[in-house]
């Protein structure tokens, strides 16, 4: 970045620092990934300078001859990849995309959204009371079963009782295959729209290692920056089934995005999405998706060997949720200690967590980013051993029972942990290990 280095050395230096951080750490956050240089070149292009409110060939601004082609290409690539008749590629990200879907399908303060409770792995925008989606619309939330798995019977009962207008399936912390067919039947039985939010697993659906929701859902939403490995952004798709239920659904979604919710689309983002979609059409991407799952399974097995308690007992996808209660280490403590050792994870609630979200009982990890860097099963075994070492190292750190004392404890813990010699020794090993797996 020669220009930036001279015009704004501060920002240039911070970007360099972040590049170094990413290179020297193992990113196990399941919703993150490393984009290709091609995606980043499109994202950093002159397309960021353009305004193009509206849709291709129907814009409120002049000068969109080129932008129209970019957006149409993104649309066509998505339609082909997912086998859907309609897509909107303009949502700025997943949250506005979900809100737009509810605006297109529900009457505020009247219709109900039915989604999974946040504490069980649902998303804020699946109708949680803390989110505008749970405030503008009525919502009813389902839970997982005691075994940490989706309880389809309970979902059906709840849907029959509550008659939601939209049922949301697709999650942020669910390590197992989702039975979209079953959800489709439930939605049909109560006349609801089925919205499949496949943000986490899109790349796996494209690679054919997770069933596609397209035959069963009316609407499919995905972010573009997780397993799909594109820029931040989102897409809303209407399936043939969705068109049959309401032929005007595409029009309603288009209007919900603009003028309903957004202004000008981010054309540089659209171009970068198109690039990611092209990359996702390749054979290499299929191999990539398969390897994500192989890696997650290898990581899960190795963790189980070390006595870790994985919710639902393992994984079928890219994600693993570790319940640390048997290890007597709080998730917040574990996440900070792991970061000190160069392993970046999420602290995360586990099903029926007795602890609050800020100090949850678990951590959430995943393999999409590590797999992009070329790490395989062998490397996953090594990573599991490091995770185990770190957790053993902080076993004596007890989060105070007294809620008032927790924040001060964590402040002290953070100052202590960055000086922990054993963790710093692991960080050194991790750095050397990472140097063999350059980020793109």
Residue ranges for the known binding site for (6S)-5,6,7,8-tetrahydrofolate are 118, 122-124
239 is catalytic: no
In the complex, minimum distance from the CB of residue 348 to ligand DSN, in angstroms, rounded to a whole number: 9
Q: Of the listed 202, 223, 311, 371, which one is catalytic?
A: 223
Q: Residue 41 phi/psi, 5° resolution? A: -65, -45
51 is catalytic: yes
Q: SS3 breakdown of the chain: % helix, strand, coil, rounded to 5?
A: 50, 15, 35
Could you tell me the CA-to-CA distances from 302 to 221, 282, 293, 381, 387 in Å, in that order? 33, 31, 14, 6, 10
232 is catalytic: yes
Q: Of the listed 27, 71, 197, 339, which one is catalytic?
A: 197
53 is catalytic: yes
CA atoms within 13 Å, Cβ hemisphere of 53: 10
Q: Which is nearer to ligand DSN, 84 or 118 (CB)?
A: 118
Among 25, 128, 172, 222, binds ligand DSN (CB under 6 A): 172
Considering only residues 311 to 350 of the shown chain, the ones binding ligand DSN according to CB under 6 A are: none
Binding residues: 118, 122-124
Q: Residue 222 phi/psi, 5° resolution? A: -140, 140
Q: Which is nearer to ligand DSN, 31 or 311 (CB)?
A: 31
21 is catalytic: no
Q: Which is nearer to ligand DSN, 119 or 417 (CB)?
A: 119
The 10 Å Cβ neighbour count of residue 326 is 11
**Residues near 197 by beta carbon (within 8 Å), at least 6 away in sequence:** 94, 98, 123, 126, 168, 169, 170, 171, 221, 222
Among 112, 123, 210, 225, binds ligand DSN (CB under 6 A): 123
**Residues near 36 by beta carbon (within 8 Å), at least 6 away in sequence:** 229, 275, 276, 279, 440
Q: Name the token pair of 435.
A: 């140097």
270 is catalytic: no
In the complex, minimum distance from the CB of residue 168 to ligand DSN, in angstroms, rounded to a whole number: 13
Considering only residues 9 to 38 of the shown chain, the ones binding ligand DSN according to CB under 6 A are: 31
Which residue do the tokens 């054993």 mark? Answer: 422
Considering only residues 28 to 87 of the shown chain, the ones binding ligand DSN according to CB under 6 A are: 31
- Report which residue's Cβ sits closest to ligand DSN: 31
d(Cα 342, Cα 335) in Å, to the nearest integer? 10
Q: Of the listed 53, 151, 179, 246, which one is catalytic?
A: 53
In the complex, minimum distance from the CB of residue 92 to ligand DSN, in angstroms, rounded to a whole number: 13
Question: CA nearest 210: which of 174, 186, 240?
Answer: 174
Q: Of the listed 79, 117, 185, 232, which one is catalytic?
A: 232
In the complex, minimum distance from the CB of residue 123 to ligand DSN, in angstroms, rounded to a whole number: 6
In the complex, minimum distance from the CB of residue 157 to ligand DSN, in angstroms, rounded to a whole number: 28
Among 94, 134, 230, 366, binds ligand DSN (CB under 6 A): 94
Question: CA nearest 115: which of 126, 106, 104?
Answer: 126
Q: Which is nearer to ligand DSN, 224 or 239 (CB)?
A: 224
Question: CA nearest 282: which of 365, 203, 216, 336?
Answer: 203
Q: Of the listed 176, 226, 245, 347, which one is catalytic?
A: 226
Q: Residue 424 phi/psi, 5° resolution? A: -70, -30
Q: Which is nearer to ligand DSN, 94 or 164 (CB)?
A: 94
In the complex, minimum distance from the CB of residue 30 to ligand DSN, in angstroms, rounded to a whole number: 7
> Which residues does the annotation mark as catalytic?
51, 53, 197, 223, 226, 232
Residues at the contact surface with ligand DSN, assessed by CB under 6 A = 31, 94, 123, 172
């Amino acid at each position: 970045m020669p220009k930036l280095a001279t015009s704004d050395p501060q920002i240039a230096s911070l970007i360099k620092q972040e590049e170094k951080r990413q290179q020297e750490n193992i990113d196990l956050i399941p919703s993150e990934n490393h984009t290709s240089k091609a995606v980043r070149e499109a994202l950093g292009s002159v397309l960021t300078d353009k305004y193009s409110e509206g849709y291709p060939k129907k814009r409120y601004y002049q000068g969109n001859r080129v932008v129209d082609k970019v957006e149409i290409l993104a649309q066509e690539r998505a339609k082909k990849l997912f086998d859907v008749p309609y897509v909107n590629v303009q949502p700025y990200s997943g949250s506005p995309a979900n809100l737009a879907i509810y605006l297109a399908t529900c009457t505020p303060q009247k219709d109900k959204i039915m989604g999974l409770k946040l504490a069980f792995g649902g998303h804020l925008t699946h109708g949680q009371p803390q989110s505008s989606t749970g405030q503008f619309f009525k919502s009813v939330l389902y839970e997982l079963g005691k075994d940490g798995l989706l309880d389809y019977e309970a979902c059906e009962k709840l849907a029959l009782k509550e008659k939601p207008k939209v049922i949301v399936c697709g999650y942020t912390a669910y390590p197992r295959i989702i039975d979209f067919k079953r959800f489709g039947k439930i939605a049909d039985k109560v006349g609801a729209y089925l919205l499949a939010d496949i943000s986490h697993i899109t790349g796996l659906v494209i690679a054919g290692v997770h069933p596609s929701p397209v035959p069963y859902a009316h609407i499919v939403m995905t972010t573009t920056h997780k397993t799909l490995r594109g820029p931040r952004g989102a897409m809303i798709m209407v399936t043939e089934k969705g068109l049959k239920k309401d032929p005007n659904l595409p029009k309603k979604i288009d209007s919900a995005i603009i003028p309903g919710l957004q202004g000008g689309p981010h054309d540089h983002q659209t171009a970068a999405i198109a690039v990611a979609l092209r990359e996702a059409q390749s054979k290499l991407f299929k191999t990539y998706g398969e390897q994500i799952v192989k890696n997650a399974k290898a990581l899960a097995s190795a963790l189980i060997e070390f006595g870790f308690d994985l919710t639902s007992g393992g994984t079928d996808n890219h994600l693993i949720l570790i319940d640390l209660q048997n290890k007597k280490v709080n998730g917040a403590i574990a996440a900070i200690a792991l970061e000190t050792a160069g392993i970046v994870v999420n602290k995360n609630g586990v099903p029926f967590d007795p602890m609050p979200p800020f100090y949850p009982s678990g951590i959430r990890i995943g393999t999409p980013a590590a797999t992009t860097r070329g790490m395989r099963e062998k490397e996953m075994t090594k990573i599991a051993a490091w995770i185990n070492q770190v957790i053993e190292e902080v076993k004596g750190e007890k989060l105070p029972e007294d809620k008032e004392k927790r924040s001060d404890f964590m402040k002290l813990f953070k100052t202590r942990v960055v000086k922990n010699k054993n963790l710093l020794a692991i960080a050194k090993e991790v750095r050397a290990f990472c140097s063999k797996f350059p980020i793109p």
